[in-house]
């Protein structure tokens, strides 16, 4: 990860893709469809993307931003009257605005239950990784423990909760069959995929990829949580089934060799960072 001194770049040095616009002098926003808003932070070195999913009088915010700027006012302008937040995992760059939204949805995993006595969750240092940017973990109330395979309903929209470990053991993605879309969070996105951080696991990546490749349609639209588009302009990071397949091939090739530290090119959109610890778990 980049050092604390180079976390941001000037807004006027960032080129947005067609269809995106700046809001609040920091966020890049654009419509995925009429009811789904992509919210990016392209001036932040990790180029975060969160997704606001709306139907009727309800909204769900999948990830709550880096916290470099307050995301709450923007969400309030675009969301329905009732908005719940659902962090894809506990890393610091996905929990920045979590305390703005009241009790949040959290995936029901034993490791997270252990961090939440009386349903007040404080991520552990290894789950949060805030030391990379001198951040302290927040504490926030859990409003609903979402089971693996549970279908969350946002108005008439149905979002299937998928456990997608690899990048982290607590990572989840949302699968929306009606719109043929996977909100993949940090499992897959454009740029450097982190399989070298604490909790990351190449065997878990392989197992998750095999499950996804066996269950998702070949024309799936994948929206990741980070990344710059091809050509140098910043856009919501869209990927597809072929990217999952290419990542599977890369992970399998690494696991067939001797553990080592480095990076491997997956395809023109992605590269995979790994360490010796990545080969266990």
- Write out pLDDT tens, residues 89-128: 999 999 999 999 999 999 999 999 999 999 999 999 999 9
Give the alpha-carbon dihedral of 225, 226, 229, 233, to 10 degrees. Answer: 120
Low-confidence winner among 60-74, 221-235, 258-272 (lowest mean pLDDT):
221-235
Whether 4 has a pLDDT exceeding 60, the answer reads no
Q: Where are the domains of the chain?
A: 4-279
Which DSSP state fits 25?
A: T
For 29-58, how does the pLDDT look when each residue is reduced to its tens digit (9 = 90+)?
999 999 999 999 999 999 999 999 999 999
Which DSSP state fits 269?
A: T
CA 158/CA 176 separation, integer angstroms: 6
- Percent of the chain whose pLDDT exceeds 70: 98
What is the second-level CATH architecture of the domain 4-279? 4-Layer Sandwich (3.60)
| pLDDT confidence tier of residue 82, bands split at 50, 70 and 90 | confident
SS3 117: helix
Give the alpha-carbon dihedral of 23, 40, 94, 8, to 10 degrees. Answer: -80
Tokens representing 83 are: 């908005």
CA 11/CA 270 separation, integer angstroms: 25
For 126-138, how does the pLDDT look when each residue is reduced to its tens digit (9 = 90+)?
999 999 999 999 9
Tokens representing 195 are: 């399989």
Whether 210 has a pLDDT exceeding 80, the answer reads yes
Residue 281's pLDDT is what? 78
For 254-268, how does the pLDDT look when each residue is reduced to its tens digit (9 = 90+)?
999 999 999 999 999
Whether 278 has a pLDDT exceeding 80, the answer reads yes
Residue 231's pLDDT is what? 77
CA 161/CA 74 separation, integer angstroms: 25
Place of tokens 């001036």: 43
- Percent of the chain whose pLDDT exceeds 90: 93
SS3 93: helix
| pLDDT confidence tier of residue 6, bands split at 50, 70 and 90 | confident
Whether 81 has a pLDDT exceeding 90, the answer reads no
- Cβ contacts of residue 252 below 8 Å, gap of 6+? 206
Low-confidence winner among 139-143, 179-183, 205-209, 255-259 (lowest mean pLDDT):
255-259
CA 240/CA 216 separation, integer angstroms: 10
Q: Which residue has the higher pLDDT, 155 or 231?
A: 155
Residues 64, 106: contact at Cβ < 8 Å? Answer: no
Residues 148, 163: contact at Cβ < 8 Å? Answer: yes
Residue 238's pLDDT is what? 96
- Cβ contacts of residue 206 below 8 Å, gap of 6+? 166, 248, 251, 252, 255
Residue 178's pLDDT is what? 98
Strands 172-176 and 157-163: antiparallel
Residue 80's pLDDT is what? 80
Hey, how many other C-beta atoms are within 10 angstroms of the C-beta on 51?
Answer: 22
**What one-character-per-residue DSSP string does 159-193 give?**
EEEEE--SS-TT-EEEEEGGGTEEEEETSS-SEEE
């Amino acid at each position: 990860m980049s050092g604390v001194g180079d976390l941001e770049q000037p807004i006027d040095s960032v080129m947005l893709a067609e269809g995106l616009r700046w809001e609040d002098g920091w966020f890049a926003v654009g419509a995925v469809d009429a009811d789904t808003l992509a919210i990016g932070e392209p001036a932040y070195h990790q180029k975060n993307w969160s997704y606001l999913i709306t139907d009727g009088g309800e909204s769900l915010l999948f990830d709550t931003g880096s916290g470099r700027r307050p995301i709450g006012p923007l969400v309030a302008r675009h969301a329905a009257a009732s908005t719940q937040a659902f962090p894809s995992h506990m890393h610091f760059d996905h929990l920045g605005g979590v305390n703005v939204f009241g009790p949040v949805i959290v995936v029901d995993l034993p490791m997270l239950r252990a961090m939440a006595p009386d349903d007040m969750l404080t991520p552990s240092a290894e789950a949060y990784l805030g030391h990379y940017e001198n951040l302290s973990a927040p504490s926030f109330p859990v409003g609903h423990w979402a089971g693996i395979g549970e279908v969350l309903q946002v108005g008439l929209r149905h979002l299937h909760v998928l456990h997608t470990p690899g990048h982290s053991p607590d990572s989840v993605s949302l699968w929306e069959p009606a719109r043929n879309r996977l909100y993949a969070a940090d499992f897959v996105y454009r740029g450097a995929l982190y399989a070298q951080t604490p909790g990351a696991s190449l065997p878990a990546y392989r197992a998750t990829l095999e499950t996804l490749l066996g269950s998702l349609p070949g024309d799936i639209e994948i929206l990741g949580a980070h990344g710059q588009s091809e050509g140098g302009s910043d856009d919501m990071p869209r990927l597809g089934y072929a990217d999952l397949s290419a990542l599977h091939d890369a992970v399998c090739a690494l696991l067939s060799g001797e553990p080592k530290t480095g990076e491997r090119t997956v395809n023109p959109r992605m590269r995979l960072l790994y360490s010796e610890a990545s080969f266990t778990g």
